[in-house]
Structure 1
Amino acid sequence: MPKGYSIVDKRVAEELYLLKCSLLPGEFLSFQQFLTPEESEGWSNYLDRYLELSATEDHSQLPSPYFCVGINNARLWIDVRYPIDTSPNRLLPVVTIKGEDITRDEQERWQSVIRERNEEVKDSEFPTYELISTHLLPQLHGEVSGQCDGSPQKDTNTAIFSQNAIGTTSTTYHALLTSHHLISPTKRKNLQQWSSQLHVTGFAKVGYPGCIYCEGAQEQVEEFVANTSGK
């Protein structure tokens, strides 16, 4: 096995796929800054095919994950590096904030935030996903807006459904569903598929708790709710 390579742990891969699916317009996840073009393409292809992969497929030629997450045209981004040893006691990556002209004071403030938030998410099923999507990305958005003061932002990670709402109906119906959490990549993929098929529009708040809202014609909204509640 080449140096620096290891079999990808299923939980690490699931977190990366969940994080990729959770990004909002204007946000990015990139391997290109840290890996070779071949390694970056390998990871991109792996995440694109994640739901199709068999449990026995050999992933030993994938490098240990090393990537950045951020907002387009922002001067700061989140640097995420998993250790080569992905044994169960080494699943948490090293997460830092990097950026253009970042000062020592800024870096220390961000590392303090990361330490505090790591304590909050350490018992989560997907700690790295929660750290980035629930805490760090909202604060980066606050930084971009000139609102970041070092306190956790209250923004939530929200994904938009299909915009193909039916415009011919005279009455628009609405539905709001809540749940303890909404983190499953499969569930979120199904929501996108159902909203497109049924021509409803809406959004989902990912994380703890989960929230799903949709609007459209009565029959389509009722079917969407039935699909969402039953699967």
Structure 2
Amino acid sequence: MEDVLREEIELIQSSLLPTETLTRGLDNFVVRSTTSELSIHVNLCDYPKTVNVEVKGEKDGREESEMWRGWVRERMKEWDMTQEYPLYQFCTTHFLPLLSQSSPLTSPTCHLDTSNTCTTGQTDVPNVDLTPHHSLLISHHLLSSTKRKHLISLSSQLSLVGFSKTGHPGIMYATGSKEDVTEWVREVKSWNWLALRVRVSVEPIPVSPGDSNAEQEESPQLQRDLEDEQEKLSSNNRGDAIQETQRLKGAKDGARGGKGRGEWTEVEKIGDAIEWMRVRGREKMLWDVGVGTGAVK
């Protein structure tokens, strides 16, 4: 169990922003930021069954401290020890976003109040391209546990949805905003690889059905999937506190500087990778680059 816990803490450390630090004790750790008065204190005595989390502010009085405790109690209802990385998912979804300098939520009242009283002035949606983009990378292999951890943490930092297929060959596919997918490709390419190739460069996910009959038959679902992806990108870039509070309550979107935690899946077999793409009507992408039984000879 200690090895699993160590791995979770390494994942959390890899997802920290440059202004944030994690200090570990015997059965606890604390995350602080130079840009926030808040600190996150996590007691691990009962891990993985549960954890004890405290949010502390340098200038919090008794009332603020009690409100934070109430807020934490609500979040603790969502602890799920059956997840692959429960501590990592829990902390990056609910607690690390509190330390972000760009987060408009700096007090427990903002998290508990769904009215307009917690807005912070600037609520305009940034002028960014919200069209869903994607990219496909293939390497000779993907075996390194370090690289696999980095792919998970990178998806959290950049709010990406995608998967990686381990073993031979290594396959990595990511979707998100153009800016985030471009950064993902740049970062992954900077790692030490054997024969890494960008098989599909950063480009918009096609809205119209592809050439295959399967894609044509699934075109209504494809359209819904694309709309869902675009909505996720849009909501991840809204800066107002009301949207932020709703997302926190939804327990689906974490945030690092306003971004979601992403949804990254790791598979071991080529068939699983094909299935992941097939559900989204994109299996032909893998076939076109020689992966899978439907590959062009």
Give TM-score scaled by structure 2 length.
Answer: 0.40
Q: Considering only CA atoms, is the larger Rg found in Structure 1 or Structure 2?
A: 2
Larger relative CO (CA 8 A, sep 6+): 1 or 2? 2
Give TM-score scaled by structure 1 length.
Answer: 0.49
